[in-house]
């Protein structure tokens, strides 16, 4: 949309936020640069995205310009370019949950109340708030969604907390004429996307997937956080449920994070094994190993979803816009095959 900027608030200035912010500046300066999946989404270019607000609960990031905070501890996503000052200072965020031992040992928490967040969003005329805080902080994510709604901002939930899949919350956003999408961001080519894609490929070649497993080992705060037993089990359920959407019943699948390795930084190593049956029930076994980076994997998806939500707002849509949720997230209201969801999104927003 020529001349229109998308006013965005970043909630959680972690590794994914670092990749996203650097990506905005990189592709604004290099609009034809390699690696950008969709240069135009909904009529918007990456240069149309403007970060106008940022929140975090780590005292090592608050009070700093976003350009500095994205490289502050405990972030480990690499510095890809020299960032100019943004003029946006990271403010104290919401913390409604008790930190699990892994987060408590890493984060130096500071916080403020929801009313001040609502005022902050209104003051900065935030149109879209992107929630990228650590998984498992469910009360905090819900409070952020409420604050965004009260301030008149649409909400993108990159965490596994049930927000865009909560029908009551969807109705509340609909009543305010706002959009809410999510939940749990799908990496561009993470373990879940690769797992689903390979299942679809096997089926397209006339093979029947019988069993598969996906094991992830990673570094960074998000993986460390996932070591908490309750969260690890929950994430396992979300990933497994997403993958099962690609095949018929009777297929055994296990997917989840298995361990944290500090020196991997923001990288992740994924191990996949597939067992499938073909002609005369002959067996196939496929083993796959992939090394990826969580920040890079999030960047394209977040930039796409932000621009798609802006377009949906322009079109007067409200509530959960399912073609956006289905494309960008693991936990959704509507069950769609990976390639189908991508094709629908591209047809509507990238044509």
Nearest to 184 by CA among 166, 204, 163: 163
Q: Residue ranges of the alpha helices (H) in the chain?
A: 15-29, 66-69, 101-104, 114-123, 138-151, 167-175, 191-204, 220-226, 229-244, 294-314, 322-328, 338-349
3-state secondary structure of 6: strand
**How confident is the model over 152-165, as pLDDT tens digits?**
999 999 999 999 99
**How confident is the model over 135-181, as pLDDT tens digits?**
889 999 999 999 999 999 999 999 999 999 999 999 999 999 999 99
Nearest to 211 by CA among 271, 239, 251: 251
Is the separation of the CB atoms in 110 and 62 below 8 Å?
A: yes
Residue 330: burial class (beta carbons within 10 Å; 0-12, 13-18, 19+): buried
Of 1.10.460.10, 1.10.10.60, 3.30.360.10, 3.40.50.1000, the CATH number of 191-292 is 3.30.360.10
The β-bridge relationship of strands 40-41 and 154-157 is unpaired
Percent of the chain with pLDDT over 90: 75
Residue 287: burial class (beta carbons within 10 Å; 0-12, 13-18, 19+): exposed
pLDDT of residue 142: 98
Tell me the CATH number for domain 6-186+296-349. 3.40.50.720
pLDDT tens for each residue of the chain, 351 residues long: 546 899 999 999 999 999 999 999 999 998 888 999 999 999 999 999 999 999 999 999 999 999 999 999 999 999 999 999 999 999 999 999 998 887 888 888 999 999 999 999 999 999 999 999 998 899 999 999 999 999 999 999 999 999 999 999 999 999 999 999 999 999 999 988 999 999 899 999 999 889 998 988 988 887 877 776 566 676 667 677 777 777 666 678 877 767 889 889 889 999 999 999 999 999 999 999 999 999 999 999 999 999 999 999 999 999 999 999 999 999 999 989 999 999 999 999 997
Q: Quick one: tokens of 311?
A: 């377009």
pLDDT of residue 340: 95
pTM confidence score: 0.93
**How confident is the model over 217-247, as pLDDT tens digits?**
988 887 877 776 566 676 667 677 777 777 6
3-state secondary structure of 256: strand
Domain definitions of the chain by residue range: 6-186+296-349, 191-292
Is the separation of the CB atoms in 72 and 60 below 8 Å?
A: yes
Is the separation of the CB atoms in 264 and 218 below 8 Å?
A: yes
């Amino acid at each position: 949309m020529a001349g229109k900027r998308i006013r965005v608030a970043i909630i959680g200035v972690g590794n994914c936020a670092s990749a996203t912010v650097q990506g905005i500046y990189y592709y604004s300066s290099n609009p034809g640069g390699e690696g950008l999946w969709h240069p135009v989404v909904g009529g918007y270019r990456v240069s149309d995205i403007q970060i106008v607000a940022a929140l975090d609960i780590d005292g090592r990031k608050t009070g700093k310009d976003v350009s500095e905070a994205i490289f502050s501890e405990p972030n480990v996503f690499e510095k890809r370019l020299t960032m100019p000052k943004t003029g946006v200072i990271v403010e104290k965020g919401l913390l409604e949950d008790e930190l699990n031992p892994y987060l408590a040992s890493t984060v130096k928490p500071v916080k403020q109340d929801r009313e001040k967040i609502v005022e902050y969003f209104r003051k900065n005329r935030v149109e879209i708030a992107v929630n990228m805080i650590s998984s498992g902080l469910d009360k905090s994510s819900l409070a952020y969604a409420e604050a965004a709604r009260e301030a008149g901002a649409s909400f993108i939930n990159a965490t596994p907390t049930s927000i865009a899949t909560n029908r009551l919350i969807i109705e509340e956003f609909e009543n305010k004429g706002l959009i809410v999408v999510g939940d749990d961001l799908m990496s561009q080519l993470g373990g879940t996307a690769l797992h689903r894609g390979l299942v679809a490929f096997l089926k397209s070649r006339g093979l029947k997937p019988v069993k598969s497993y996906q094991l992830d080992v990673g570094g960074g705060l998000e993986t460390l956080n996932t070591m908490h037993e309750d969260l690890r089990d929950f994430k396992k359920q979300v990933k497994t449920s997403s993958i099962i959407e690609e095949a018929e019943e009777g297929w055994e699948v296990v997917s989840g994070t298995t361990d944290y390795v500090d020196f991997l930084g923001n990288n992740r190593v994924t191990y996949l094994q597939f067992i499938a049956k073909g002609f005369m029930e002959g067996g196939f076994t496929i083993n796959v190993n992939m090394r990826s980076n969580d920040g890079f994997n999030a960047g394209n998806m977040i930039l796409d979803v932000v621009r798609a939500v802006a377009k949906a707002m322009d079109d007067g849509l409200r509530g959960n816009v399912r073609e956006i949720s289905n494309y960008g997230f693991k936990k959704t209201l509507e069950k769609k095959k990976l390639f189908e969801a991508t094709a629908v999104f591209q047809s509507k927003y990238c044509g």
